[in-house]
């Protein structure tokens, strides 16, 4: 009869042999039920440290610029064009919070290929790679970054027409990305909450809540927050609630 020690050794070998290439077997990227609200669009040096002190995580919009071999933060703000590294330097508690990077120009595969090592170098420099997730609507980007041990978020296409055919089309697209590229989470507008909850009950979900800024709107956000598989919700409020 095999000893317990030998059986344990065989189990360890079997576990690593079954590990899929590029698959992140770490714990889920983020799972704090009482701290799901992150600050949306933190792209300016003037506000970054303030929101980093208040929220458990922040979202930053990124563009990769070939001419400088690096990322800038930009979503049309007056402060647009600040290098990501400069913004991170202003955050005093940068190792204590989480990051959602919305990769805006990731639809071009050559940009994706050029960008991976640059983003990895920055995140390793600041020791925040394990606290960062990269969002893209390009399945190739999801796969490329996953293969390089990043957490990834698949940006869900919007349902332009609320018809059975359109819902089936989007469902098929999403399922295909899940099966092949295996993103860590799915991310979408809060308007897609009911659709995703119904059609993808086993997937981890992240949401943004553009346009929800009133006291009354908090009810809508709290409904999403109470759903177990919704782990992160981007908000435009000055502080969590």
Question: pLDDT at position 80, please?
Answer: 87
Q: Which of 224, 210, 216, 214 lies closest to 40 in space, CA to CA?
A: 210
Q: Tell me which of 27-31, 45-49, 175-179 is least confident.
A: 27-31
Average pLDDT over residues 115-142: 98
**pLDDT, tens digit, for every residue of 218-228?**
999 999 999 99
Question: pLDDT at position 14, please?
Answer: 41
Question: pLDDT at position 161, please?
Answer: 85
Question: pLDDT at position 57, please?
Answer: 98
Question: pLDDT at position 71, please?
Answer: 98
Question: pLDDT at position 22, please?
Answer: 34
Average pLDDT over residues 134-163: 95
Whole-angstrom distance, CA of residue 119 vs CA of residue 217:
35
Indicate the pLDDT class of residue 27, thresholds 50, 70 and 90: low
Beta strands 37-39 and 82-83: pairing type?
unpaired
Average pLDDT over residues 122-133: 98
Average pLDDT over residues 84-108: 98
Which token pair is 88?
A: 């991170």
Q: Which of 149, 156, 147, 148 lies closest to 204 in space, CA to CA?
A: 156
Q: Tell me which of 27-31, 49-53, 120-124, 189-193 is least confident.
A: 27-31
Q: Which of 34, 86, 83, 41 lies closest to 222 in space, CA to CA?
A: 34
Indicate the pLDDT class of residue 160, thresholds 50, 70 and 90: confident
Q: Which of 222, 60, 217 lies closest to 131 in space, CA to CA?
A: 60
Please identify which residue in the block is written with the tokens 């690593």.
16
Q: Tell me which of 4-8, 72-76, 82-86 is least confident.
A: 4-8
Q: Global pTM? A: 0.88
Position with higher pLDDT, 183 vs 25: 183
pLDDT at 7 over 70: no
Rounded to the nearest integer, the mean pLDDT of the chain is 91
Domains and CATH numbers, the chain: 35-235 (3.20.20.190)
Q: Helix, strand, or coil here: 182? A: coil
Question: pLDDT at position 12, please?
Answer: 41
**pLDDT, tens digit, for every residue of 129-145?**
999 999 999 999 999 99
């Amino acid at each position: 009869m095999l000893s317990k020690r030998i059986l344990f050794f065989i189990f360890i070998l079997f576990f690593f042999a079954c590990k899929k290439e590029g698959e992140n077997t770490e714990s889920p990227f983020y799972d704090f039920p009482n701290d799901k609200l992150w600050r949306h669009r933190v792209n300016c040096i003037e506000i970054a440290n303030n929101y980093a002190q208040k929220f458990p995580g922040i979202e930053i919009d990124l563009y990769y610029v070939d001419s400088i071999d690096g990322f800038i933060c930009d979503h049309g703000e007056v402060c647009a064009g600040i290098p990501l590294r400069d913004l991170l330097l202003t955050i005093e508690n940068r190792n204590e919070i989480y990051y959602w990077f919305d990769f805006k120009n990731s639809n071009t595969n050559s940009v994706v290929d050029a960008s991976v090592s640059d983003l990895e170098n920055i995140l390793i420099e600041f020791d925040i790679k394990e606290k960062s997730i990269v969002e893209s609507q390009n399945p190739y980007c999801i796969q490329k970054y996953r293969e390089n041990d990043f957490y990834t978020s698949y940006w869900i296409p919007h349902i332009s027409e609320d018809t059975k055919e359109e819902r089936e089309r989007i469902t098929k697209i999403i399922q295909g990305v899940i099966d092949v590229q295996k993103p860590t989470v799915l991310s979408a507008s809060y308007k897609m909450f009911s659709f995703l909850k119904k059609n993808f009950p086993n997937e981890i979900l992240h949401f943004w809540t553009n346009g929800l800024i009133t006291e009354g709107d908090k009810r809508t956000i709290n409904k999403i927050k109470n759903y177990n598989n919704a782990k992160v919700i981007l908000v435009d409020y000055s502080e969590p609630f």
